[in-house]
Amino acid sequence: AQLAEQYTKAGKANGAQVVPAGLAFAKSVARKPELDLYVADKRHPSLAGTYLAACTVYAALLGKSPVGNAYTAGLPADVAQHLQQVAWETVREYVGK
């Protein structure tokens, strides 16, 4: 939360939009800790993590929900649905602040 706050401050100070991908990762981990969003090095995103980041960027930049998007990047439909929902909720919460 502290890191997100600093990114938000920096974005506002520089007139830049901030995509809350880190907050989306945290929300997904809280809800589905068994879903691995990182590869073995724990620094780079897995396919699921990359998909979540992409959904978050989509939601933040376009202001549209990714929920229901048919493209799953090869992830199981229920996993894609979870990630789409987390991205959309996170962006709506973040923009509302």
Query: Model-level pTM?
Result: 0.92
Three-class DSSP category at 75: coil
Q: How far apart, in whole angstroms, are the C-alpha atoms of residue 87 and residue 50?
A: 12
pLDDT value of residue 1: 75
For the beta carbon of residue 93, count every other beta carbon within 10 angstroms. Answer: 13
- Section 31-55 average pLDDT: 97
Q: What is the pLDDT of residues 4-38, one digit of tens each?
A: 889 889 999 999 999 999 999 999 999 999 999 99
What does the buried/exposed string (b/e) look like for 36-50 if buried means 16 or more CB atoms within 10 Å of the residue's CB? ebeeeeeeebeebbb
45 forms beta bridges with 38
N-terminal to C-terminal alpha carbon distance within the chain: 13
